[in-house]
A and B are shown apart, each in its own frame.
Chain A
Amino acid sequence: MSSAKPTVTGRSETAQRPADARSRRDDIRRFFPILLLLVLVAVFSFASPRFLQFNNLMIVAQQAVVLLVAALGMTFVIIAGSIDLSVGAIVALAALVAAATSASLGIYAIVPACLVGAAAGLVNGVVVAKGKVPSFIVTLGAMVVYRGIVLFFTRGAPISIDDERFLDLYSGRTAGIPHSVLIAILLIAIAAVMLNLTVFGREVRAIGGGERIALLTGIRVDRVKIAIFVLSGLMCGMAGLLQGARAMAATAQLGEGLELDAIAAVVVGGTPLTGGVGSIQGTILGALIITILSNGMNIVGLDPYFQNIVKGLVLVLSVFVTIDRKKIGIIK
C-alpha cells in the first residue's frame, strides 16, 4: 500500500463506548454460541456418562442433520431480511414425494424430492418478490397450504419406505458414521462457499443490509430473492429426504414445528432477524445447541414436560447476550 493512503481514523460524533470495552463485548457476542455449546456438553457429560459415548454423539449428529440442513437455507433467507415459515411443511412434502417415488426410483428419489422442494420455494419466492407480499405472510400461508397438500394425499396415513438401496444410501452408516451426517457436511460446505465466496452471497447480504440501497445500486433484488427461497426449498427437499430415510416413512406430521427450530438455530447462532449479517458457522452451532439440549435433557432424564421451558429460556438468553443493540437501534 502506498504511503499516500490517508490513515486518519474515521471520526464519528455519535455516541460510542470506549474501544476496549466495546471490543470485549464484541468478543463475548461472537464466542457466546460456542461457549454455550461447550457448557452444555460439559454439563450433560458430567450428568450422564452415556452422553459422550461415540454412539450417542452419532445419534446427536443424526438428530441434528434435518434441523441443520433446513436451517442452512433459512440462514440465507434471514440474512436477506426475509423469513420462511413454510420450511417444516416443505420438508414433509419432500419426504412424502421421496417415499412415494422410492419404490420405483430407488436412490434417485432424491431428484423428485429436491424438485418439489425447489418448486415450493419458487412459488414462495415469486409471490414475495413479484407480488410484493411480506415473506412472513406468504410463507405462513404456504406452510398451511403445503401441509394441506401432504394431508390431502396421505389422508393422514404414513407412507413407508422399503427400498433397501434408498435406505442404505441415505440412512446407512460407513465406518460408524451416518451417511446423513456426511451429506450434511457436504451441504454445509456448499452453503458456506455460496454465502462467503460468491457474488450471490454478497448480494444476499446487501439486500438484507438495505433493500432499497441494493436495488438502486443495480442488484436484481427480485431475482436474488427468488433464488434465496428456491435455495431454502432445495435444502428442505434434502432435509425431507433424510428425515424420511431415517424414519423409514413419510408421515403427515413430519417436520411440524421445524420452521421455528430452524429460525431458533439461525438466531442462536448469532444471525439477527434484521438481516444483512450472519454466518453458516453460527447456524451449525445453533442447530447443535438446540439438538444437544434436547438430547441431553432426555439422557439425564429431565421431565419431558419441563424441557420446553428450558429450550425457550435458552433461546431468549442467547439472543439477549449475542444481539448487537448498537446496530439495531430500535428493538421491536
Chain B
Amino acid sequence: MKIVATDIARSFGSTRALSGVSITLEPGRVHALVGENGAGKSTLLKILAGAERPDTGSIAIDGKPYAPRSLAEATALGVRLVFQEITINPSLSIAENVFSGQLARFRSRGLLNQAAMNRAAQALLDTLAVDVSVAQPLARLDLGQWKCIEVARALSTDPRAVLFDESTAFLNHREADQLLAAMRALGDRGLVVAFVSHHLAEIDAVADQLTILKDGRKVGDFAAGELDREGIQSRMVGRDLSRGLYPPRPEARISSGPMLRFNNVAADGLEPTSLSVAPGEILGIAGLKGAGGERILEVAAGVVRPRGGSITVGGAPLAAKTPAEGWAASIAYLPGERTTEGLIVDASVLDNLVMAKPPRRGPFFDRTKARAMAQAMIARLLIKASSEKARSGSLSGGNLQKVVLGKCLAIDPRVLLLNNPTRGVDVGARTEIYRSLREAAKEGLAILMVSEDLNELIGLSDRILVMREKRIAASIDDPAATSEDAIIRHMT
C-alpha cells in the first residue's frame, strides 16, 4: 500500500490548519510528521485516518481515490489510527480491549469464546514483540504496555497502514521505547507507518523519513539523518535556535540561606530525605516513576502529608497539611497533568491565571485588577491567546502550560514546584518557558523541578538530584558536565 495525499487543505473557522500539503507514505517505511503545536500534523493524520475531512485536495491509495468519511470507513480500507489519549478501558480484560468493537467475532452459540479471543489477542501482541501476557491484569501494566495493546487493537482489523497521533505524549522514556519498538516492527513487516511527535530522540530512533510542517504548510520532506537535531528544530520553529534551548546559567548565585529545606522528611513513597533549595536556584530531580521525586513535590505542596521530619520555608517551619496552606505560604505547585490537575479548560485564560490568588476588594472579586494581572502575565510569558477572555481549551498545549505556569507566578511565590513543566510542549514554547523560569529564578525564586526529560534537567538545572527507590541516589553539582547516560545509571 502506498498513500499519496495531494494539496490537502483544512480550515477550522478562521484558522487554517492545513494549506496545500502533499505527502507520500511508502510501505515498510516509518514516516515522522514533525512540527510545533498547531503546525497541522495531527490534522493531517486525522484526515488520512478518516477522522476529519479535507476542505480541498485528494488522497489516493495505490492510485485509487480514497476519501473516508469516518474512522470506520478508513478501517475497512485498511488504515488505522492510534490516538494520543489512552483509550484502554481498565475494567475490561486485555483481550477484550484488543477486540473491543469486534467481540462478535468470537461468539459461539451466543456466548463469548474467551479462550479463542485470548489466543488471538496474544498472537497479535506477540507480533509486536512486547512482553505482555493476556492473562495479566491491566492495572499491573505500565502506560507503554497499554499503548501497545491499542496497537494490537489497530492490528486486529489487519490494516495495511497504522498512523500514530502523538502516542508517546503520556509515556515516560522507558514506556515510549516499547511503543517505538512496536512501530519499528510494523514498518519492518511492510506496513505503512506514520507518527506525530515532538521528541527528536524518537525521530532519531525509528523514523526512516520525516516531513516537517509549520503553520499548516509543509517545510519539506527529509530522509532520516539528512538533518541534525538543530536543523530539524530551526525548521520547525522557523528561526535559528543556535543560541540553544536553554538560557545561560547566571555567573553568581544569590548567597543566602536555603529557601526550602527538607530535614529527614519521610512520607508514603518517600524514605527520609534531606535537601535544600536556595533562592535563585533551580534544583532538578531525576528518577523513574515512583522513585520519590514527585512525592517530594507533593509533600512540599501539602498534597501528601509527611510522616516524619521537618520542612522549613525561608527559615520558618512549615507543615502544609493542605494545598491551600502551601499556596498561602507562597509555595506554588505546577502538577504533572495539565488538563486534569493544572487548569480548567472550560474556564477563560483570565480565570485560570488568577485562580490561585484572585485579587479582591473585601469579599468582592476585583475585575479591573484581575484583567491587568492577566494581561501582564500573557505578555510576560508570551501566551498566544486571542485575549484574556478566550476559553483556555482553545489554546495549544504549549500555551496551556504557560497558563498553568502563569497561575503559579501570579502569586509571586517564594518556592516553585514543577512536575514535568514541558511535557507535550513544543520546542518554541519550551524555550520561552525555560527563559521565564530562569528569569524568575534570577529574581530570587527557589525552583524544584521533577522531569522525565533528562536533557531538560541537564540544560536548565543548577544542581540535579537523582532518585532511586524512594531515596536520593546521587547529587550532581555540575549538570553541565554530566550526561543522560550518567543520570540513567544512577536511576536504575
**Contact of B379 with A11 in the complex, beta carbons under 8 Å:** no
What is the CA–CA distance of A220 and B351 in the complex, to the nearest angstrom?
17
Q: How many residues of A contact B (CB 8 A)?
A: 41
Identity of the chain A residue whose Cβ is nearest the Cβ of B44 in the assembled complex: A13
Cβ-defined contact, B384 with A212, below 8 A: no
Q: A5-B379, A216-B335, A218-B327 in contact; A210/B15 too (CB < 8 A)? A: no
Measured CB to CB, the nearest residue on chain B to A328 is B346
CA distance A209 to B43 in the complex (A): 28
Whether a CB of chain B sits under 8 angstroms from the CB of A197 is yes
Q: Measured between C-beta atoms, what is the minimum distance from A245 to chain B in Å? A: 30
From A9, A17, A276, A277, give the contact of B15 (CB < 8 A): A9
Return chain A residues, CB-CB under 8 Å to B399.
10
B351 touches A202 (CB 8 A): yes
In the complex, what residue of chain B is closest to A220 when comparing beta carbons? B324
B363 touches A216 (CB 8 A): no
Residues of B within 8 A of A1 (CB): 375
Let me know if B407 is at the binding interface, CB within 8 A: yes
Query: Which residues from chain A contact B473 at a C-beta distance below 8 Å?
Result: none
Q: Which of A185-237 contact B (CB under 8 A)?
A: 197-202, 205-206, 209-210, 212-220
Is B378 an interface position by the 8 A CB rule?
A: yes
Q: Is the CB of B375 within 8 A of A218?
A: no
Asked if residues B15 and A22 are in contact (CB atoms below 8 Å), the reply is: no
B404: min CB distance to chain A, Å: 9
B344 adjacent to A206 (CB under 8 Å): yes
Q: How far is the CB of B48 from chain A (nearest CB, A)?
A: 14
Is the beta-carbon distance between A13 and B38 smaller than 8 angstroms? yes
| Residue B14 interfacial (CB < 8 Å) | yes
CA distance A214 to B342 in the complex (A): 9
Q: In the complex the two chains form, what is the Cα distance from A12 to B41 in whole Å?
A: 11
Between B13, B46, B386, the greatest number of chain A beta carbons within 10 A of the residue's beta carbon is seen for: B13
B383 contacts the other chain (CB 8 A)? yes
Which residues of A from 1 to 60 have beta carbons under 8 Å from B?
1-2, 4-13, 15-20, 22
Residues of B contacting A277 in the complex (Cβ-Cβ under 8 angstroms): 346
Query: Is B373 at the interface (CB under 8 A from chain A)?
Result: no
Q: Is A325 an interface residue (CB 8 A)?
A: no
Whether A155 is near chain B, meaning CB under 8 Å from some CB there, is no
Compute how far the CA of A216 lies from the CA of B135 in the bound complex, rounded to whole angstroms.
37
Q: Are A216 and B341 in contact (CB under 8 A)?
A: yes
Are A6 and B365 neighbours in the complex by a CB distance under 8 Å? no
Q: Give Cα A16–Cα B342 distance, bound, in whole angstroms.
A: 23
Chain B residues within 8 Å of A327, by CB: 346
A16 touches B365 (CB 8 A): no
Q: Is B232 an interface residue (CB 8 A)?
A: no
Complex alpha-carbon distance, A10 and B397, angstroms: 10
Chain A proximity mask over B275-313: 1 for CB below 8 Å, otherwise 0: 000000000000000000000000001010000000000
| Additional A-B contact list (12), CB under 8 Å, known A18-B12, A202-B351 | A5-B379, A6-B379, A12-B396, A15-B46, A18-B11, A198-B365, A199-B360, A202-B358, A205-B351, A206-B355, A212-B340, A216-B301
* 26 CB < 8 A contacts A-B: A8-B384, A9-B15, A10-B395, A11-B38, A11-B384, A11-B396, A12-B396, A13-B17, A13-B40, A15-B52, A17-B13, A19-B13, A201-B365, A202-B365, A206-B351, A209-B346, A213-B340, A214-B344, A216-B301, A216-B303, A216-B341, A217-B407, A218-B326, A218-B327, A218-B357, A276-B347
Residues of B in contact with A (beta carbons under 8 Å apart) = 11-15, 17, 37-38, 40-43, 46, 51-52, 301, 303, 322-324, 326-328, 333, 335, 340-344, 346-347, 351, 355-358, 360, 363-365, 375, 378-379, 382-386, 390, 393-396, 399, 407
